[in-house]
Amino acid sequence: MDKPSQHATSMIDPTLLARVVQGDQQAFSQLYDHSSTLLFTLAVRILGNHDEAAELLQDVYLEVWRKVSRYDVGRGTPVAWLVTLTKSRAIDRLRARAARGYRATSSLEAGTAAQVADPGPNPLETQADQELRIAIGAAVAGLPQAQQQAIELAYYEGLSHAEIAVRLNQPLGTVKTRIKLGMSKLRDGLQQWWTHGELQ
């Protein structure tokens, strides 16, 4: 990673992607520096394994390099595009692995709450990224444990509400309500933070 501290992950300039489309290798290098930590963190969270996450990132960046011309700025920020792509590919890999009967390290055992509760300052992060990360972490940590768990099972493990209900041995309606309420609180909390600079 070259000088990542100079770039905020949440503020990747769409023109950087436009330069990547032109085959600009320096731009691609900058894109990696902006996003690789966030995407690697996401991949490790989903796959529970650093080596596999590294493999996944190889695939993802290759796909980004090849398909960058498909990125449409009108459809979202570059970061959102990269996060969504990485999450989709990671869950594909997770499902393929489940089909082979391989049981990964339990995500639940990884202790997401602990990760959120102790974000810790990262010397390579910009201040903007750090503050946003803290705000979102706080919003997630502020959710009741049951709601947080249901959302994370869906988001990081790619489980449907029915699968979550089975996993947690809870009624389907309860699981749906937990996810709905949790997402609703996250939305309201972050909007409040964007509007007033503080969480509810």
Partner 1 sequence: MTHEELQESVPLYAAGALDRSERQALEAHLLSGCVSCHAALKDYQSIAALLPLALSPITPPHSLKATIMADRNPAPLPAEAASNESARQSLEPGEWMNHLFPPVAPARSSSLPWALGFATLLIMAVGGYFTWSVSTERSVTTSNIQQLEASLKETSTKFANLQREVGDQTQSLAALRNELQQRTDETAETKERLVQREAELEEMRVQLSQRGNTRTVETPQDELATLLRVPNAKTVSLTGSDMAKQAAGFLLYDSRTQKVWLYSINLPESPAGTTYQLWAIHDKPVSIGTFSIDTGKAAHLLVKKVPSFVDAKAFAVSLEPSGGRPQPTGPIYLLSQS
The residues in 4-63 that bind partner 1, with binding defined as CB under 8 A, are: 8-11, 14, 20-21, 23, 25, 28-29, 32, 36-38, 40-42, 44-45, 50, 53-54, 57-58, 61-62
Applying CB under 8 A, does 168 fall inside the site for partner 1? no
Tell which one of 144, 160, 166, 171 touches partner 1 (CB under 8 A). Answer: 160
- Within residues 79-118, the interface with partner 1 by CB under 8 A covers 79-81, 83-85, 87-89, 91-92, 95, 112, 115-116, 118
Q: CA distances (Å), 120 to each of 24, 112, 199, in order?
A: 35, 14, 19
Q: How far is the CB of 99 from partner 1 (least distance, A)?
A: 11
Phi-psi sector, 23: left (phi>0), alpha (psi -120 to 50), beta: left
Copy the structure tokens of residue 94.
């997770």
Chain mean position to CA 110: 16
Residue of 30, 48, 149, 164 interacting with partner 1 (CB under 8 A): 164
CB of 106 to partner 1, least distance (A): 16
179 touches partner 1 by CB under 8 A: yes
* Alpha-carbon gap, residue 52 to 90, rounded angstroms: 9
Indicate the burial class of 46 (C-beta count within 10 angstroms; 0-12, 13-18, 19 or more). buried
Question: Which amino acid is it at 187?
Answer: R
Quote the CA–CA distance of 115 and 83 in Å, as a whole number: 19
Smallest distance from partner 1 to CB 102, Å: 17
Report in angstroms how near the CB of residue 128 gets to partner 1 at its nearest: 3
